[in-house]
Chains A and B, each alone.
Chain A
């Protein structure tokens, strides 16, 4: 049985991210969110806030704080040039980022619902 993970930065409580919504995080306190988490089909997926658009690699993706998704909440939308991504796989749909992939961020959800940045090293493999 896994024990409590130690020392991983706390991001939020998992119930703070509703279905079809996203939240951005700045765990390094750089003044700009470096990653975001989206809930899709009940699961959480974390991605680096960095569009893979050719020539714009690393550009921020939200148009407003925490606004990383299309209106229906079904896709990640980069508001730089409208590229759409599958929120579960990070794969770009046909369009500006066709076939390009978002960078996945590892998160850990504890039994009591904390969302932590990084892998739970205490978990048995």
Chain B
């Protein structure tokens, strides 16, 4: 199944205005924002959709009260969407929507959708660095530390589900939708990569008691670690509550910085994730603080050793 990545996550929330402000301050581009909700887009068109939890157009909520209402996967073409509809239609209801997209549920009860991907090709440079021995990343007189840069998330990266049965959930995504395991935390669950991308993962499954079913976090890719640190710093300066980071993960190598959110999930800034193809042999280890990150800093206010000695 040629699934290329996440296109959109739909939330049915308690406080629409708070969520709309939050996602705008996170850096996404607000579209069609009104009292009923809005869409918040990254540069490639992937998005978070906010609606009120009582919006009758949304798929049913989980019994746990989680505000996630639908995960929409982007596909390479309509033939892939149709193939998924046929595959899932063997044992569950598949709704065909007017625009050719389909909607169903996974084996954990999460509403899932599939559509021809909205992802627009991006042609943007990555963060450029200079290092002895390598050709200059930036030409002479181009500065690297520019506090004024505009930072807009580039692309919806991944979602992390709390699931009551990670083995069953993994089997569904692998056997029915063609995902592959990138790596695995043996005490939590697998990082899963669909067939149409090299990104380390678009889904990570965490096994939890049933009453916790929901979403741990979602995140968008930024242009590099400096963008991530500056975006997180700006977000924290606006009063948002940092949960974990900034730091860099081991599995996936992505830089991370997690914040609390009014959607009742953590929201991450992410940059520089590993790419893998089918020649990759998945690693596995028990998750722990040491296994999860090569380093983790917590931001403190700006400070300079020595101050002004004059």
Contact = CB atoms under 8 A, between A and B. Distances in A.
A82 B241 contact: no
Interface in B235-265: 238-243, 259-265
Main secondary structure of the interface of B (DSSP, over half): loop
Interface string A63-91: 11101001110000111111110000000
A70 B15 contact: yes
Nearest to B267: A63
B264 A77 contact: yes
Given A59-B243, A84-B65, A96-B64, A54 B260 contact: no
B14 A63 contact: no
B67 interface: yes
Contacts, number: 84
A31 B260 CA distance: 17
A94 interface: yes
B201 to A, nearest CB: 20
A31 B64 CA distance: 33
Contacts of A77: 14, 264
Interface string B67-102: 100000000000000000000000000000000000
Q: How large is the interface on B (under 10, 10 to 19, 20 to 34, 35 or more residues)?
A: 20 to 34
Given A54-B209, A79-B241, A95-B64, A63 B214 contact: no
Interface in A14-46: 31
B65 A61 contact: no
Q: How large is the interface on A (under 10, 10 to 19, 20 to 34, 35 or more residues)?
A: 20 to 34
Contact of A95 (B15, B211, B265): B211
A62 interface: yes
B239 A81 contact: no
A52 interface: no
Contact of B65 (A79, A80, A95): A95
16 contacts: A53-B212, A62-B241, A63-B259, A64-B262, A67-B18, A72-B14, A78-B264, A79-B260, A79-B261, A80-B243, A81-B162, A81-B216, A82-B67, A82-B265, A95-B65, A96-B214
Interface of B: 14-15, 18, 22, 64-67, 162, 208-209, 211-212, 214-216, 238-243, 259-266, 300-301
Given A79-B262, A81-B265, A94-B211, 9 more contacts: A53-B212, A60-B242, A63-B18, A64-B241, A71-B18, A79-B241, A80-B260, A80-B266, A82-B263
Interface of A: 31, 53-55, 59-65, 67, 70-72, 77-84, 93-96, 98
